[in-house]
């Protein structure tokens, strides 16, 4: 990761050209995503409840809340914000694997303020889901914020290791890994929610994740070429992990001179991912039910 500039430029530019073309000109990916979602929905209709979907979301919110809280305070959400990691039935919460002293040394307060805002938003999402799930809420699963980033960096060709807590730019790239995925996860799951009330809330959380994603992507744009290139390689890795190879885009300037702050398809609509696609990304390609990467022992709940 220290050597972003040493990425194989030719390979990168080639891949980038493909990505740029993918959004502004080609394709049908939106349709494909919709079709995938329809399948998911009918599968859900058989056995999956709203509580299962909200618990799936709760696992992801635990991950995000821990990341931002550790980056801004150096401590986990139970210590920093008094949030229980136990399940609604009293089952014990899992552990968080992270380096010592993860508090980021932010170089400007504008970024630090935002990191703190996002930390609070993700804490609020955890609390909101826990409250609504009540005794059905799952406990926090084991979360890994150290080996996971190293593995992902290797998969993305960014180097043998990556420490998202090492610098402000690294923090933004670490955040980048999660936020767009959160948007696609909520978007994929929303149509399967049967309660209009929960649908409304899920859409509202989806939007907040999109605000986060946009702000982070705008800051990566401003951070310059190296950060943008890293975001492109992460985006390609996410698309590869979810099996589509074509539903993600990093931050760049396309051939028309337009920025790519928004992670969207040719119809300018953000992508949706099935729960299986999301799991594959957060597991770093690990098998369903077994987990890996950010969730070394899988998610808690029915969808894992």
**Residues at the interface with another protein (CB under 8 A):** 24, 30, 34, 37-38, 41, 109-110, 113-114, 116-117, 120-122, 124-125, 127-128, 183, 187, 190-191, 196-197, 199-201, 203-208, 210-215, 217-219, 221-222, 253, 256-272
> In whole angstroms, what is the distance from residue 235 CA to residue 92 CA?
34
For another protein, the closer CB: 68 or 283: 68
Q: Min. distance of Cβ 191 from another protein in angstroms?
A: 4
For another protein, the closer CB: 268 or 287: 268
For another protein, the closer CB: 112 or 297: 112
Question: In the chain, what is the greatest distance between 2 CA atoms, to the nearest angstrom?
Answer: 55
> In whole angstroms, what is the distance from residue 138 CA to residue 224 CA?
40
Q: Min. distance of Cβ 90 from another protein in angstroms?
A: 24
For another protein, the closer CB: 271 or 283: 271
Are the C-beta atoms of 46 and 53 separated by less than 8 Å? no
Q: Min. distance of Cβ 17 from another protein in angstroms?
A: 17
| Angle at the Cα of 5 from the Cα atoms of 3 and 7, rounded to 5 degrees | 85
Is residue 200 packed enough to be buried (19+ CB in 10 Å), middle (13-18) or exposed (0-12)? exposed
Q: What totals of helices (H) and strands (E) does the chain contain, helices first?
A: 10, 2
Q: Min. distance of Cβ 206 from another protein in angstroms?
A: 7
> In whole angstroms, what is the distance from residue 219 CA to residue 111 CA?
8
Could you tell me the CA-to-CA distances from 132 to 50, 125, 138, 204, 296 in Å, in that order? Answer: 11, 11, 12, 15, 26
For another protein, the closer CB: 155 or 189: 189
CA atoms within 13 A on the CB side of 223: 24
Describe the chain by its helix, strand, coil percentages, rounded to 5. 60, 5, 35
For another protein, the closer CB: 86 or 127: 127
Q: Min. distance of Cβ 285 from another protein in angstroms?
A: 25
Q: Min. distance of Cβ 108 from another protein in angstroms?
A: 10
For another protein, the closer CB: 69 or 270: 270
Residues 6+ positions from 161 with CB-CB distance below 8 Å: 1, 149, 150, 153
Q: Min. distance of Cβ 48 from another protein in angstroms?
A: 14
For another protein, the closer CB: 176 or 271: 271
Q: Min. distance of Cβ 185 from another protein in angstroms?
A: 11
């Amino acid at each position: 990761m220290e050597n972003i500039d040493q990425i194989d430029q030719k390979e990168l530019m080639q891949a980038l050209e493909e990505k740029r073309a993918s959004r502004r000109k080609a394709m049908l990916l939106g349709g494909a995503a919709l079709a995938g979602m329809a399948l998911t929905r009918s599968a859900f209709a058989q056995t999956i409840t709203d509580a299962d979907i909200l618990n799936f979301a709760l696992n992801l919110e635990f991950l995000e809340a821990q990341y931002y809280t550790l980056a801004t305070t150096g401590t986990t959400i139970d210590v920093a914000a008094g949030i229980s990691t136990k399940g609604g039935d009293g089952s014990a919460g899992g552990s968080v694997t992270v380096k010592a002293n993860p508090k980021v040394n932010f170089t400007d307060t504008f970024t630090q303020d935002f990191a703190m805002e996002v930390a609070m938003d993700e804490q609020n999402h955890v609390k909101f889901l826990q409250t609504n799930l009540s005794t059905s809420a799952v406990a926090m699963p084991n979360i890994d914020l150290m080996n996971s980033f190293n593995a992902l960096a290797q998969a993305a060709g960014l180097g043998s290791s990556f420490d998202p807590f090492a610098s402000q730019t690294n923090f933004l790239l670490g955040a980048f890994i999660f936020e767009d995925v959160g948007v696609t996860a909520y978007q994929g799951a929303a149509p399967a929610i049967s309660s209009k009330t929960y649908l409304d809330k899920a859409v509202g959380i989806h939007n907040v994740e999109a605000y986060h994603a946009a702000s982070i992507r705008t800051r990566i744009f401003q951070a310059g070429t190296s950060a943008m290139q890293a975001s492109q390689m992460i985006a390609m890795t996410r698309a590869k992990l979810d099996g589509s190879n074509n539903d993600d885009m990093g931050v760049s300037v396309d051939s028309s001179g337009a920025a790519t702050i928004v992670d969207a398809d040719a119809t300018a609509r953000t992508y949706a991912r099935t729960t299986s696609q999301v799991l594959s990304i957060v597991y770093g390609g690990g098998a369903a039910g077994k987990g890996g990467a950010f969730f070394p022992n899988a998610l808690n709940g029915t969808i894992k």
